[in-house]
Chain A
Amino acid sequence: MGIFGIARYAVLVFVAAVILVPILFAALGGAKTNGQLLNDPVGLPSPWVFSNYTDVLFGANAAVFWGELLNSVIIATVAVFLTVSLAALAAFVFARMVFKGREAMYMLFTLGLLFPSAVAILPLYILVRQLGLESNYLGVALPQAAFGLPLTIIILRPFFKSIPVELEDAAKIDGCGTFGFFWRVLLPLARPALATVSILAIVSTWNAFMLPLIILNGADQWTLPLGVMNFSSEYTNDQARTLAFTVMAILPAVLFYIVAERQIVSGLTAGGVKG
């Protein structure tokens, strides 16, 4: 290994350390007492104390933790299901049917990319309240799904377009209607694209903060990001416990990331660099 090789490793290891240190600080901090955290924030826990973690998973804070995890899962599931299924239906029409006004309609959807959800947040709050959906999972999941539509449609359309017309003709001859072709031929073929858009949608709904913050009033409905924020202010004097809670809260995302890294990366680069 030449001097370049060594320098490369030195830089990469340093950057990796900068990334990992705050996360390790949190993970190790959760295994300390508050006294240890105060006197020796840097070192390894000595002795290791697992009561904070066990409290979060099975003990005093378990109801809160599992409740918030469940809320996050429910909201993400509903939102992702809606985004992907409705976007797939729309993308199918945009990709495979010819009709007047198609491009105008498609433009209308792409327009949505120009609106950061922050722009719509105040009226969304009013709207959700008028619909009686405040403090309801749907009050978060529906707007979240709606804001996910443009990107999902834009990614799916070319995939749907690329499936040969011959297949469609063959399916028709075999007695498939349009929906039959969509459901039994096109969707199975587009599975990689569907996985990509689902994963993008999962990451964005799972981490959503502003919308749940204004819509979900009741603590029993909070998602994990809200829960962590609240936990940290509730336990200002028990930071070891806060750290344990925080670490458990990011764990699902980290595990998901490790399993789906390839998909996430290819999805983002498909969206980001297709030029």
Chain B
Amino acid sequence: MRELLEKIRADAKAQLSDNDADIEALRVRYLGKKGELTAVLRGMGKLSAEERPLIGQLANEVRADIEAAIEERRQEMQERLLELKLKKEKIDVTLPAEGELGHIHPLTMTQRELEDIFIGLGFSIVEGPEVELDYYNFQALNIPENHPARDTQDTFYITDNILLRSQTSPVQVRTMEKQKPPIRIISPGRVYRSDAVDATHSPLFHQLEGLVVDKGISMGDLKGVLELFAKQTFGEETRIRFRPHHFPFTEPSAEVDVSCFACGGKGCRICKGEGWIEILGAGMVHPNVLRNCGIDPDVYSGFAFGFGIERIAMLKYHIDDMRLLYENDTRFLGEF
């Protein structure tokens, strides 16, 4: 009987195949209710009382052994199947991805960055109408009718009294009319001037102007704010230079240059050999402007500055033609 059991063990193991059905048949044949091992066990009654536990133990061992072998083979097969499946599922990882990220327009990106710089300095953002009254665009800003300064900003008119704002300064006036100092605002937005379209001109462009009015504001404060702005926009090494200028709405007035961020001031193609790049106009708010808005220039003082967002964007991203910004070619937009 011992031999019989050992034979069953050896036969069963030897006959283990790689076919699921065969394995099941094998299990039934040896371990099933009518299987060979069961048949052997049934014949155990004939054994002596000494032999019976020994054979019983062996039979159990054989059963466990066969079961383990079957289990092991099944495991192996599953692993092999999975392996096969995974192999079949192989993909070409170099194929293109689905879906694309869109792009924020370079003007918007620049405007947001600039806004954030000034927000960090306690400025609020104020907006105002683009179709504006002559009063807010010119008269309140110390530019009466027939003032020669009107020539420097060729203006689109709707009626005699309504125009397309040529600067965002009307927003400053509207703010000062409504709000008592301290005032610390920026006004970004579209402005319009009668310039034909070319690589550096556009009849519509964006400006960002700033205004600070409070007691004791000095021109040194203006320089401090602009220096912070320049360093944040063009890099820590940037220096600024003031040149006296004239704007009717500020006194003193200045044009402000930044040291060329490309060459550091040595002179290069970007700064046209100057070492400096003109970037904005600024000055101390003219007392007439304050007075026009009901603010006493003997008590309060303030400064204002303004620059073109296109100009900053073009410098920042090395865009050499302004028309690209309004053409909206997706190949161009995709570069940002």
A binds B: no
Chain B residues with CB under 8 Å of chain A are none
